[in-house]
């Protein structure tokens, strides 16, 4: 899709206004209710849908399909990233009223990082078509790794700080408690970080790792930098509200890793076929319509099977707890609450 500089500028200004409005709404630390999170999640989804429809009206249906495929893929990858955010929040015991501020800054960092990665990726693709082979192989490897991790059944219950984060903590020092929304404080004549700053750095550094999966994945669906950027932006901007909306449901999506592995593997194969086609090899290319159907179908099936599996697991645990409770000693007391005869006489 041919996008002029004027459209780019207007789009960035429009997204900046939306981000500013989001920041204004969440400027005061408070506990986010399910109602608030639900309303704003719907608002972001509707805005993304309207933007995709607008591309179809003022652009073309092909570009619109690419946007929706990219948006859904990035949103599903973002949901998987929320698992790590939950671990980070638990690791640093972030107060509930400060979590939205952490997520908002984390989203802003992710937007900046992905804008840089997208620009670099677009430049590389324009100059070297063989990079599609690397992107495709990387996505297939990532898909295989996700399956291996899911099959191992090993759940990460804690977040391990990386070397960069540990070195920053050692260099500046960290306060022993939170000080509202302050990122730095002065203690004993020295400027040190608050735990809130450490949490934001933790989320920021993990955003870099998230981009390593998401950027190649969306370039496998479209090579248009405008669509890549806007799909990422809309997928990320609703992430904060989505965290509070489905935070309790994350553990129930037990098959999400399998679904994402199928999606990433599928896009990886699509990239390799595209690279072969670019090099003159006569191979079938996967259309964006088929890609959108596969991505949507996999996510629906994964969600349904996850909820069914989670429900069965909860029933088994409840049955085991009931059985264990029924075998406790001392449960053979008179049901009418009367005392034993010997104890009365005593």
Cα–Cα distance, 210 to 260 (Å, whole number): 13
Q: Give, in order, the Cα–Cα distances in Å from 264 to each of 36, 120, 140, 277, 301.
A: 32, 21, 7, 20, 16
d(CA 110, CA 71): 15
Confidence grade of residue 158 (pLDDT, cut at 50, 70, 90): low
- pLDDT at residue 53, as a whole number: 94
Reading the block at residue 298, the tokens are 């996999």
Provide φ and ψ at 124, rounded to 5°: -65, -45
Q: Give the pair of three-digit tokens for residue 287.
A: 């259309």
The DSSP annotation for 79-148 comes to HHHHHHHHHHHHHTT--GGGHHHHHHHHHHHHHHHHHHHHHHHHHHHHH-TTHHHHHHHHHHHHHHHHHH
- 10-19, 141-150, 151-160, range with greatest mean pLDDT: 10-19
Using alpha carbons only, give the angle 273, 224, 19 rounded to the nearest 5 degrees.
Answer: 130
Tell me: pLDDT of 79 over 90: no
Nearest partner of 15 among 229, 222, 242, 240, judged by Cα: 229
pLDDT by residue (tens digit) across 277-325?
A: 777 778 887 887 888 888 888 888 988 998 888 888 888 888 888 887 7
CB half-sphere exposure, 319, CA atoms < 13 A: 6
- The string of pLDDT tens digits covering residues 254-278 is 787 888 888 888 888 888 887 887 7
d(CA 7, CA 55): 12
pLDDT tens readout for residues 30-46 = 677 777 778 888 888 99
**pTM check: above 0.75:** no
Q: Residue 13: which of 236, 312, 230, 254 has the closest Cα?
A: 230
- Residues of the chain with pLDDT > 90, as a percent, come to 8
């Amino acid at each position: 899709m041919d996008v002029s500089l004027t459209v780019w500028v207007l789009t960035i200004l429009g997204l900046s206004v939306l981000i500013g409005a989001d920041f204004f709404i969440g400027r005061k630390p408070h506990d986010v209710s399910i109602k608030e999170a639900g309303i704003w999640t719907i608002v972001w989804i509707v805005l993304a849908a309207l933007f995709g429809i607008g591309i179809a009206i003022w652009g073309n249906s092909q570009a619109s399909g690419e946007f929706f495929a990219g948006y859904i893929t990035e949103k599903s990858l973002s949901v998987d990233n929320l698992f790590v955010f939950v671990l980070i929040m638990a690791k640093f015991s972030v107060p509930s009223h400060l979590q939205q501020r952490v997520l908002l800054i984390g989203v802003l960092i992710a937007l900046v990082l992905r804008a840089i990665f997208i620009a670099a990726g677009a430049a590389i693709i324009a100059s070297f078509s063989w990079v599609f082979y690397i992107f495709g192989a990387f996505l297939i490897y990532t898909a295989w790794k996700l399956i291996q991790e899911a099959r191992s059944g090993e759940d990460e219950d804690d977040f391990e700080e990386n070397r960069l984060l540990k070195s920053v903590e050692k260099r500046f020092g960290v306060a022993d408690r939170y000080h509202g929304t302050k990122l730095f404080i002065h203690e004993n004549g020295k400027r040190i970080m608050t735990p809130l700053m450490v949490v934001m750095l933790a989320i920021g550094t993990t955003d870099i790792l998230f981009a390593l999966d998401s950027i190649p994945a969306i370039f496998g669906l479209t090579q248009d930098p405008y669509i890549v950027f806007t799909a990422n932006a809309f997928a990320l901007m609703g992430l904060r509200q989505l965290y509070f909306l489905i935070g309790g449901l994350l553990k129930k999506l037990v098959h999400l890793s399998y679904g994402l592995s199928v999606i990433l593997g599928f896009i990886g194969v699509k990239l390799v076929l595209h690279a072969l086609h670019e090099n003159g090899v006569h191979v079938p290319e996967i259309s964006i319509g088929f890609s959108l159907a596969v991505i949507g179908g996999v996510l629906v099936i994964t969600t349904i099977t996850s909820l069914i599996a989670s429900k069965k697991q909860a029933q088994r645990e409840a049955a085991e707890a009931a059985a264990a409770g029924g075998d406790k000693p001392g449960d053979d007391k008179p049901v009418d609450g009367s005392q034993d005869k010997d104890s009365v006489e005593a």
